C-alpha cells in the first residue's frame, strides 16, 4: 500500500486516490479523511458494500484489499491508493455466481441482505486461507460480521457447503 | 385441524430475491442518490432532562458546506405537533421532531444542520453551542408516579400515559379457593431492536406540483401519513411515500422514523432541494427506539397440584420520554392475556408511564413478550414454591386442544393447535429426563446445569384497533391490506401488495400464494417489491408489522387472484365459445376439460388490454383485479371490561434451554436449545424456519447481552456496538427447531403470522439459570442475565460454590 507517500496529511487536505476495484481503476481527488467505504460507495458508486455502524464492529463494509479482508470503514481511502480491491460486485465473473454466492442462495443465508456483502467477503477470505474450515473455524472467521436476521445458522451452513464445493476459488 | 394439501404453497422454494443482496445489486435507502442532495446531521442532548436556555448556531452556519440550521423553536413555528393517541391530560403533550424548550431524554435531537456533505454536516453539528439548565430526572416508572416526581411533560401535569383495569372472571372467588397464594415481583428490561441498516429518509420537493416525495423505510407507510401530513399541514395527496425494494431489517423499530421523515421533508420543502438523513449506529441505539421496560407485581392463587386458579397483577410500563405510537403497548399484551394457559380469573391493573429514558416502540414480540415472560416466570415460581416439576406445572395449566378455538378471558380467540402435544414434543426433543439425571450427577461434582422452559404466543395480524380501549375516539382501527394481481399486456402475471418486507422474502412467498390460486409455477409470477403510494396499492394499515403480511396480504392476494381468475375464465369462455364450468386455469392458460380447446394468458392479455374491439359486451378492458381484505371479527370493539377480539392468528413456540452456569464467574453456557412451534400452514418452510431461528437468537441475545442501562443522571451507558455488543457467531448457539403445524382456524389459507416469535428464549434462559443455581437459593426475577446481576445474586446467597 502507498501509505508512505504521505508523511503528514491534514484531514481536510485534498489528496489524489487511485484504486483498482474489481479490475477497474477509479481515480479521484478526495479529502484525506474520506473513509475507504465512502470512496467505494460514493466515488466508485459501488453500492453493494454497506455501512452498518460507526465503530468498525459490524463488518457490513468488508472488502478485500490486496488480498486481505478489511473493514473498509477502518481505513482512509488514501491509505488504499494504488491498491487492488475486490467487492461483492466483483465476486461473480461472466454472470456466473461464485460458489459462495450460490451457497448463500441455496441455504437462504440472508433475510434483509444488509450484512450479506460483508459476510460474503469475510467468507471469501476465510476460504482462501483455509479451504476446508471446521464449524469452529467458520464461526471464528465470521466473528467480525454481524447479522441481525438469521441467527447465523444458515450462513454457517452456506460456508460449509461452499467449502465442500471448492468455494476457495 | 389437519393441514390442507397445497400444490405450490408449503414448499421450501429457493428465495428468488436473495440473488440481489448476494450480487450487491439490492437497493436500500442509502443507495439512492439524487444529484444535489443535502445531508442532515442532528445536534443531540448530552443530558436527560434540562431546559434549553440558549442555542447558538452561528459558528455552525459559518462552517464550509453548511446550508441551513434549524432548532426546536423554528420547527415549532413551521410544524404542527404530532398527534397524540391518548386523550388529555396526556394528550396535551407537544411532540415535535426537535426538542422544544426542554430536552426529555439523553440523545434527544435539539437542532439539525443541513450541509452539502455528510462530513460537513456532522462537523458543523459539533459547533452548535447549547446551554442547558439541568432538571432532576426520573427514570423509574413507579417513581415517576409518586407525588413530587419531576414531570417529563409539564403541560400534561402527570407522567401517567394511561391506566387501565381488566377484571376478568371471578378473581376473588379464585383466591378464596386457593391452597396457596404466592406473591412476587418480576422485571423485564429495556433493549433495542437494532436492524443492521439504521433508519433513514430521503425527501425531495417538486415545486411544479407542490408535492413531496419521501423515500423511507417506515414499515407502516400509510399509517404514519396522518402524523407526517398533520405535522407538515399538507394533504396526503401531496405526499408520496416510497420504499426502496430492499429494507435492511426493522424488528419494529423503524416505525418511529416518522419523526425524521417529517423534519427531512420540511427541510426539503423549505430549501427546495433533496435532503437525506441516515442514522449513525450510535444514534440508532440511543434513540432509534427501545423496547418496553416493565415491572409486574404479581399474586397467584394456586392449588397444591400446581393448578393456577387466578392472577392479580399490577403492571408498570416505562415507555420513555414520548409515548408516540406507544400507548398501544399498554393494551396490545391483552391479546394474549392468559399466555398459553387456561387461567380464567385474571385481574390486571396496567399503568404506562413516561420517564426521562429514550422513547419506546414496537420491538419484535411487541408488548406480548414481556407478558409471556411474566407467565413463564410464574410457572417456575409456582413449581419451586410447591416443590413440583416445572414441566408438570405447565402441563397442568396449558390450554387443552379440545377447547380450541379457545376464547380467552379478555375476549381474544386462539385459532387452534395442540399446546400440550407441542410441549411434550419439546420434552422429548430436549431429552428432559436425561438432563434432569445429569443435573444430579453434575451437582455432586460442583457443576451446575439447569433446564428452563418458556412459551411465547404471538397474536399476529393484530389490530391497532386494540387502542380503542385507550381512546375510543382515535380514528385508526381495522386490519386492512390491499393487493393487486394482473396479467399484463405481455401475459406476465404481476402481483403487488401494500406490505413491503424488511427481510421476510415476500417476492417468493407471495408468488407461492398467487401460484396456488392460478395453479402455475410461482417462478413465472412477478411480485413487485417496494412500496409506492402513487403507483402501488395500499390500505391505510398496510405494512410489514405485527406479523401481518402472510395472513392479511396473503389473503388479499389470494382473493385478488381469485377475482382475476373469474375474469380470465369469463373472457376465455366467450372467446372459446365454451361453458365456463368446463374451463380449468392451469400453467398460464385456460383449457376446456370437454373439448380440449385452450387459450394462453398471452393471447387473452393481448385481447383484454389491446385488441379491445374483440371483447365481449360489457367486459371491462384489462386483466387486473384489486382486493382490499379486512377480516370480520365478532366483538371487535371493547366492552366495559376491556374485552375485545380483533387479532386473527396466534402462532406459538415453546422453548427449552439447557445451560451450565459457572457458580464462581457467573458465566452462562448454553448446552442445548430446542424450539417447537406451530406456525400453521407454512407458505415456505425455508422462510418460516429462517424467521424462527432469527427470533430465537435475538431472544437469547436479549437475555444474555442486550441491556440499555442508564446511570442515575439518565445518561445511557451503552450506545454503540462496542458498549452494546450484538450477538455474533461466537455466542449464537445452534438450535433445534421442530414444527408441529396445524391449520389456523381463522385465516383463509390456514397460515399463522410468524414474523415475531418474540423473545421466547428470554424466559427459558431465565428459568434455566435459576434452575442451575437453585442449590444457592438464587431467584431470577429479571429478564436480563448479566454476569453482574448473577454475581450479585450469588454473593447475596452466601453459599460457597
Span B219-235, pLDDT tens digits: 999 999 999 999 999 99
- Count the neighbouring beta carbons within 10 Å of the beta carbon of residue A37: 23
C-alpha of B130 from chain center: 36
The mean pLDDT value for B193-205 works out to 97
CB contact under 8 A, A117 and B21: yes
Contact assignment for B19 to A105 by CB distance below 8 Å: yes
Using DSSP's 3-state secondary structure scheme, residue B465 falls into: helix
Judged by CB atoms closer than 8 Å, whether chains meet at B26 and A113 is answered as yes
In our burial notation (b when 16+ CB lie closer than 10 A, e otherwise), range B350-385 reads bbbbbbbbbbbbbbbbbbbbbbbbbbbbbbbbbbbe
Closest approach of B11 to chain A, Cα-based (Å):
14
pLDDT of B112 over the 60 cut: yes
**Predicted pLDDT at B491:** 97
The answer to whether the Cβ–Cβ distance between A50 and B690 falls below 8 Å is no
DSSP state for residue B468 in the 8-state scheme:
G
Interface check B505 vs A, CB under 8 A = yes
B-chain residues within 8 Å CB-CB of A147?
196
Query: For residue B600, how far is the Cα from the chain centroid?
Result: 42
Chain B residues near residue A85 by CB distance under 8 angstroms: none
How long is chain A? Answer: 169
Longest dimension (CA), chain B: 91
Q: What is the rounded CA–CA span in Å between residue A161 and residue A169?
A: 14
Closest CA to B212 of B263, B168, B254, B165: B263
B241 contacts B216 by C-beta, under 8 angstroms: yes
pLDDT reading at B445 higher than 50: yes
Closest alpha carbon within chain B to A151: B694
Check if the beta carbon of residue B552 is closer than 8 Å to that of residue B506: no
pLDDT (tens digit, 9 = 90+) per residue, B713-753?
999 999 899 999 999 999 999 999 999 999 999 999 999 99
Beta strands in B303-415 (DSSP E): 308-318, 345-353, 406-407, 413-414
Residue B721 has its nearest CB partner, among A50, A57, A138, at A57
pLDDT of B477: 79
C-alpha distances out from residue A100 to A155, A166, A167, B508, B730, Å? 10, 9, 6, 21, 21
Neighbours of B586 (CB within 10 A): 12
CA–CA distance, B506 with B500 (Å, rounded to integer): 7
Res A9: pLDDT: 82
Tens digit of pLDDT per residue, chain A (169 long)?
444 566 678 888 999 999 999 999 999 999 999 999 999 999 999 999 999 999 999 999 999 999 999 999 999 999 999 999 999 999 998 889 999 999 999 999 999 999 999 999 999 999 999 999 999 999 999 999 999 999 999 999 999 999 999 876 6
Q: Note whether A146 contacts B728, CB cutoff 8 Å.
A: yes
User: B16-23+480-629: which CATH topology?
Assistant: Aldehyde Oxidoreductase; domain 4 (3.30.365)
What pLDDT does B86 receive?
86
B155-183 mean pLDDT = 97
Q: Write the pLDDT tens digit of every residue in B466-525.
A: 999 999 888 887 789 999 999 999 999 999 999 999 999 999 999 999 999 999 999 999
Q: What is the CATH number of domain B293-466+636-797?
A: 3.30.365.10
Residue in A with minimal Cα distance to B284: A53
Question: Which among B20, B729, B735 has the least Cβ separation from residue A142?
Answer: B729
Best of A113, A118, A121, A126 to mutate (most B CBs within 10 Å, chain B): A113
Domains of chain A: 3-90 (3.10.20.30), 99-164 (1.10.150.120)
pLDDT tops 80 at residue B801 = no
CA B432 – CA B390 distance, rounded (Å):
11
Given an 8 Å threshold on Cβ–Cβ distance, is B14 in contact with A115? no
User: To 5 degrees, how large is the angle CA B545–CA B551–CA B557?
Assistant: 105
B690–A146 C-beta distance less than 8 A:
no
Q: Which residues of A124-145 are buried (b: 16+ CB within 10 A; e: fewer)?
A: bbbbeeeeebeeeebbebbebb
Chain A interface includes B734 (CB < 8 A): yes
pLDDT confidence of residue B88: 78
Shortest CA gap B41–chain A (Å): 14
Radius of gyration of chain B from its Cα atoms, rounded to whole angstroms:
27
DSSP string spanning B166-235? Answer: EEES-HHHHHHT-SEEEEEEEEE-------SSPPEEEEEEETTTTEEEEE---SSTTTSHHHHHHHHT--
Transcribe A47-108 into DSSP letters: -SS----SSS-S-TTEEEETTEEEETTSSBGGGGTT-EEE-GGGTSBTTBPPHHHHHHHHTT
Beta carbons of B585 and B598 less than 8 angstroms apart: no
Using an 8 Å CB-CB cutoff, list chain B residues near A126.
Answer: none
Chains A & B: contacts with CB separation below 8 Å: 174
CA atoms of B533 and B543, how far apart (whole Å): 12
Q: What is the pLDDT of residue B87?
A: 82
Rounded-to-integer distance, Cα B153 and Cα B173, Å: 41
Chain A neighbors of B728, CB-CB under 8 A: 142-146, 152
CA distance B352 to B461: 24
B407: β partners = B413
Chain A environment of B200 (Cβ under 8 Å): none
Same CATH topology for B32-135+199-278 and B293-466+636-797? Answer: no
CA dist B604 and B614 (Å) reads 11
Given a contact cutoff of 8 angstroms between Cβ atoms, the answer to whether B677 and B739 are in contact is yes
What average pLDDT does range B347-355 have in this prediction?
98
Do the beta carbons of residue B745 and residue B415 sit within 8 Å? Answer: yes
Express each pLDDT in B677-705 by its tens digit.
999 999 999 999 999 999 999 999 999 99
Supply the pLDDT for residue B775. Answer: 95
Q: Do B22 and A52 touch (CB under 8 A)?
A: no
Give the pLDDT confidence score for residue A4 in this predicted structure. Answer: 53
| Interface test mutation site (partner B, options A59, A146, A148, A154, max chain B beta carbons within 10 A) | A148
Q: Is the pLDDT of residue B208 over 50?
A: yes
Which sequence spans correspond to the domains of chain B? 16-23+480-629, 32-135+199-278, 293-466+636-797
> Do residue A50 and residue B197 have CB atoms under 8 angstroms apart?
yes
CA atoms of B69 and B72, how far apart (whole Å) = 11
Contacting residues for B747 by C-beta, under 8 A, at least 6 apart: B415, B461, B551, B554, B555, B648, B649, B680
Cross-chain Cβ contact B18/A150 below 8 Å: no
Model pLDDT, residue A6: 61
Percent of all residues in chain B with a pLDDT value above 90, rounded to a whole number: 92
Tens digits of residue pLDDT in B590-631: 999 999 999 999 999 999 999 999 999 999 999 999 999 999
Output the nine-digit C-alpha cell for A152: 447465523
- Measure in Å the smallest separation between the Cα of B13 and chain A Cα atoms: 9
Beta carbons of B28 and A114 less than 8 Å apart: yes
pLDDT digits (tens, 9 = 90+) for B636-681: 899 999 999 989 999 999 999 999 999 999 999 999 999 999 999 9
Strand (E) or helix (H) holding B131: strand B129-134
Query: Is residue B138 scored above 80 in pLDDT?
Result: yes
Backbone phi, psi, residue B142, to 5°: -70, -35
Decide if pLDDT at B202 tops 60: yes
Cell matching residue B631: 377480516
CATH number of B32-135+199-278: 3.90.1170.50
Chain A hits for B198, Cβ within 8 Å: 52
How large is the average pLDDT for residues B395-419?
97
ipTM for the whole complex: 0.96
Q: CA nearest B735: which of B450, B430, B365?
A: B430
Amino acid at each position: 500500500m502507498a501509505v508512505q507517500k504521505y508523511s503528514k496529511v491534514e484531514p481536510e487536505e485534498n489528496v489524489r486516490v487511485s484504486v483498482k476495484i474489481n479490475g477497474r481503476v477509479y481515480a479521484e481527488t478526495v479529502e484525506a479523511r474520506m473513509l475507504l467505504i465512502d470512496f467505494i460507495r460514493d466515488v466508485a458508486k459501488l453500492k453493494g458494500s454497506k455501512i452498518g455502524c460507526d465503530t468498525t464492529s459490524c463488518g457490513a463494509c468488508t472488502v478485500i484489499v490486496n488480498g486481505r479482508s478489511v473493514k473498509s470503514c477502518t481505513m482512509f481511502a488514501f491509505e488504499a491508493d494504488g491498491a487492488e480491491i475486490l467487492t461483492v460486485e466483483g465476486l461473480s465473473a461472466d454472470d456466473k455466481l461464485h460458489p459462495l454466492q450460490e451457497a448463500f442462495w441455496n441455504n437462504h443465508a440472508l433475510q434483509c441482505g444488509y450484512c450479506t456483502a460483508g459476510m460474503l467477503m469475510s467468507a471469501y477470505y476465510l476460504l482462501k486461507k483455509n479451504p476446508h474450515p471446521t464449524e469452529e473455524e467458520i464461526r471464528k472467521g465470521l466473528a467480525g460480521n454481524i447479522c441481525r436476521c438469521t441467527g447465523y445458522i444458515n450462513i454457517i451452513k452456506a460456508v460449509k457447503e461452499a467449502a465442500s464445493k471448492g468455494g476457495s476459488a | 385441524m389437519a393441514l390442507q394439501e397445497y400444490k405450490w404453497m408449503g414448499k421450501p422454494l429457493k428465495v428468488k430475491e436473495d440473488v440481489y443482496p448476494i450480487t450487491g445489486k439490492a437497493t436500500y435507502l442509502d443507495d439512492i442518490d439524487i444529484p444535489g442532495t443535502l445531508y442532515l446531521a442532528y445536534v443531540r442532548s448530552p443530558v436527560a432532562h434540562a431546559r434549553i436556555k440558549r442555542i447558538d448556531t452561528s459558528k455552525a452556519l459559518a462552517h464550509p458546506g453548511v446550508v441551513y440550521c434549524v432548532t426546536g423553536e423554528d420547527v415549532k413555528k413551521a410544524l404542527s405537533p404530532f398527534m397524540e393517541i391518548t386523550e388529555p391530560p396526556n394528550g396535551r403533550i407537544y411532540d415535535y421532531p426537535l426538542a422544544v424548550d426542554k430536552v426529555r431524554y439523553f440523545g434527544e435531537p435539539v437542532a439539525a444542520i443541513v450541509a452539502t456533505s455528510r462530513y460537513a454536516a456532522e462537523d458543523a453539528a459539533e459547533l452548535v453551542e447549547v446551554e442547558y439548565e439541568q432538571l432532576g430526572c426520573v427514570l423509574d416508572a413507579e417513581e415517576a408516579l409518586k407525588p413530587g416526581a419531576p414531570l417529563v411533560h409539564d403541560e400534561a401535569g402527570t407522567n401517567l400515559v394511561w391506566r387501565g383495569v381488566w377484571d376478568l372472571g371471578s378473581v376473588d372467588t379464585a383466591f378464596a379457593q386457593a391452597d396457596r397464594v404466592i406473591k412476587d415481583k418480576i422485571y423485564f428490561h429495556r433493549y433495542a431492536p437494532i436492524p443492521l441498516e439504521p433508519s433513514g429518509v430521503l425527501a425531495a420537493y417538486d415545486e411544479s406540483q407542490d408535492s413531496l416525495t419521501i423515500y423511507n423505510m417506515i414499515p407502516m407507510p400509510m399509517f404514519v401519513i396522518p402524523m407526517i401530513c398533520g405535522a407538515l399541514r399538507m394533504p396526503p395527496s401531496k405526499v408520496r411515500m416510497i420504499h426502496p425494494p430492499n429494507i435492511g431489517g426493522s424488528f419494529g423499530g423503524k416505525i418511529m422514523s416518522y419523526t425524521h421523515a417529517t423534519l427531512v421533508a420540511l427541510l426539503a420543502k423549505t430549501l427546495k432541494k433533496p435532503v437525506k438523513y441516515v442514522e449513525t449506529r450510535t444514534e440508532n441505539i440511543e434513540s432509534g427506539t427501545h423496547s418496553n421496560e416493565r415491572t409486574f407485581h404479581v399474586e397467584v392463587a394456586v392449588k397444591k397440584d400446581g393448578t393456577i386458579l387466578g392472577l392479580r397483577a399490577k403492571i408498570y410500563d416505562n415507555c420513555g420520554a414520548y409515548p408516540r405510537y406507544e400507548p398501544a403497548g399498554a393494551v396490545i399484551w391483552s391479546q394474549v392475556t392468559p399466555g398459553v394457559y387456561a387461567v380464567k380469573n385474571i385481574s390486571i391493573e396496567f399503568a404506562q408511564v413516561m420517564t426521562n429514558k429514550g422513547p419506546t416502540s414496537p420491538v419484535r414480540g411487541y408488548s406480548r413478550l414481556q407478558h409471556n415472560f411474566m407467565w413463564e416466570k410464574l410457572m417456575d415460581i409456582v413449581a419451586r414454591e410447591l416443590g413440583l416439576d416445572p414441566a408438570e406445572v405447565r402441563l397442568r395449566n396449558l390450554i387443552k386442544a379440545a377447547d380450541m378455538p379457545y376464547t380467552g378471558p379478555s375476549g381474544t380467540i386462539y385459532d387452534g393447535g395442540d399446546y400440550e402435544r407441542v410441549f411434550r414434543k419439546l420434552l422429548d426433543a430436549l431429552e428432559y429426563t436425561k438432563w434432569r439425571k445429569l443435573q444430579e450427577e453434575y451437582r455432586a461434582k460442583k457443576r451446575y446445569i439447569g433446564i428452563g422452559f418458556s412459551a411465547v404466543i404471538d397474536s399476529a395480524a393484530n389490530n391497532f384497533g386494540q387502542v380503542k380501549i385507550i381512546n375510543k375516539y382515535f380514528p385508526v382501527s381495522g386490519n386492512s391490506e390491499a393487493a393487486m394481481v394482473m396479467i399484463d399486456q405481455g401475459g406476465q402475471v404481476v402481483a403487488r401488495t401494500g406490505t413491503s418486507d424488511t427481510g421476510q422474502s415476500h417476492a417468493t412467498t407471495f408468488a407461492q400464494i398467487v401460484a396456488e390460486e392460478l395453479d402455475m409455477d410461482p417462478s413465472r409470477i412477478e411480485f413487485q417489491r417496494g412500496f409506492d403510494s402513487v403507483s402501488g396499492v395500499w390500505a391505510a394499515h398496510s405494512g410489514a408489522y405485527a406479523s401481518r403480511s402472510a395472513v392479511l396480504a396473503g389473503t388479499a392476494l389470494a382473493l385478488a387472484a381469485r377475482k382475476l381468475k373469474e375474469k380470465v375464465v369469463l373472457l376465455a369462455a366467450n372467446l372459446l365459445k365454451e361453458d365456463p364450468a368446463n374451463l380449468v386455469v392451469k400453467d398460464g392458460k385456460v383449457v376446456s376439460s370437454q373439448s380440449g380447446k385452450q387459450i394462453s394468458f398471452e393471447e387473452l392479455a393481448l385481447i383484454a388490454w389491446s385488441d379491445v374491439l374483440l371483447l365481449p359486451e360489457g367486459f371491462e378492458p384489462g386483466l387486473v383485479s384489486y382486493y382490499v381484505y379486512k377480516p370480520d371479527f365478532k366483538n371487535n370493539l371493547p366492552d366495559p371490561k376491556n374485552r375485545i377480539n380483533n387479532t386473527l392468528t396466534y402462532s406459538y413456540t415453546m422453548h427449552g434451554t439447557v445451560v451450565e452456569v459457572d457458580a464462581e464467574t457467573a458465566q452462562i453456557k448454553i448446552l442445548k436449545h430446542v424450539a417447537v412451534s406451530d406456525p400453521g400452514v407454512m407458505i415456505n418452510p425455508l422462510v418460516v424456519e429462517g424467521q424462527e431461528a432469527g427470533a430465537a437468537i435475538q431472544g437469547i441475545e436479549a437475555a444474555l447481552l442486550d441491556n440499555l442501562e442508564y446511570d442515575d443522571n439518565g445518561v445511557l451507558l451503552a450506545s454503540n456496538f462496542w458498549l452494546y455488543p450484538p450477538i455474533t457467531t461466537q455466542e449464537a448457539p445452534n438450535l433445534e427447531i421442530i414444527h408441529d403445524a396445524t391449520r389456523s382456524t381463522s385465516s383463509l389459507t390456514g397460515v399463522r403470522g410468524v414474523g415475531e416469535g418474540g423473545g421466547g428464549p428470554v424466559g427459558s434462559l431465565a428459568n434455566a439459570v435459576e434452575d442451575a443455581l437453585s442449590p444457592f437459593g438464587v431467584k431470577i426475577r429479571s429478564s436480563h442475565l448479566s454476569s453482574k446481576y448473577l454475581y450479585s445474586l450469588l454473593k447475596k446467597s452466601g453459599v460457597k460454590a
